[in-house]
Structure 1
Amino acid sequence: MTADDVIRRFTFHPADTAERRQAHEDIRSSCLELALTLHSELPVGAEKQAAMFRLEEVMFWANAAIARQPKEA
């Protein structure tokens, strides 16, 4: 890992295009839809909590992948 990698990981990356803003929204809405399904279908318990936590983690990393891609020239 280089210093540039560290800076990239810990720097804010605003969505700089309409396409990236839409991609973020698509990810959030898809994850929300699945989260609501899981919430209604899964019994209360550690497994449900783990599934919800992992889905939140999926949303985070998917949005990070969009945000951290190099800026378009």
Structure 2
Amino acid sequence: MAHMANPQIENNFSYHAPKEGQPEKYETIRSKAKELAYLIDQECPKSREASVAMTKLEEAVFWANASVARN
């Protein structure tokens, strides 16, 4: 089955080598997320909800970094 090239699929499933300035952006995003992770860890009762918050924070970092890499 032949597929027509879809630019979004091609972009989303390709390796994106870091361009100038991107590693610093990744580090800033991770650093700020880490601050929030520590706040959640300190202020929230150990619970399923706190675990989900940490998972969603990790997802947010992933998607923020993907935004930098892909665009």
Would you say same fold, with TM above 0.5?
yes
Unmatched segments (≥5 aa) in structure 2: none
Identity %: 36
Structure 1: gaps of 5 or more residues: none
TM-score (norm 1): 0.83
In 1: Cα distance, 2:45 partner to 2:15 partner: 37
Letter in 2 for 1:7: E
In the TM superposition, residue 41 of structure 1 has moved relative to its aligned partner by: 1.0
Question: 2:11: which partner in 1?
Answer: 8
From the CA coordinates, give the structure whose radius of gyration is larger. 2
Post-superposition offset of 1:5: 1.2
Question: Match for residue 49 of structure 1?
Answer: 51
Q: CA RMSD in A?
A: 1.2
Moved over 6 A (4+): none
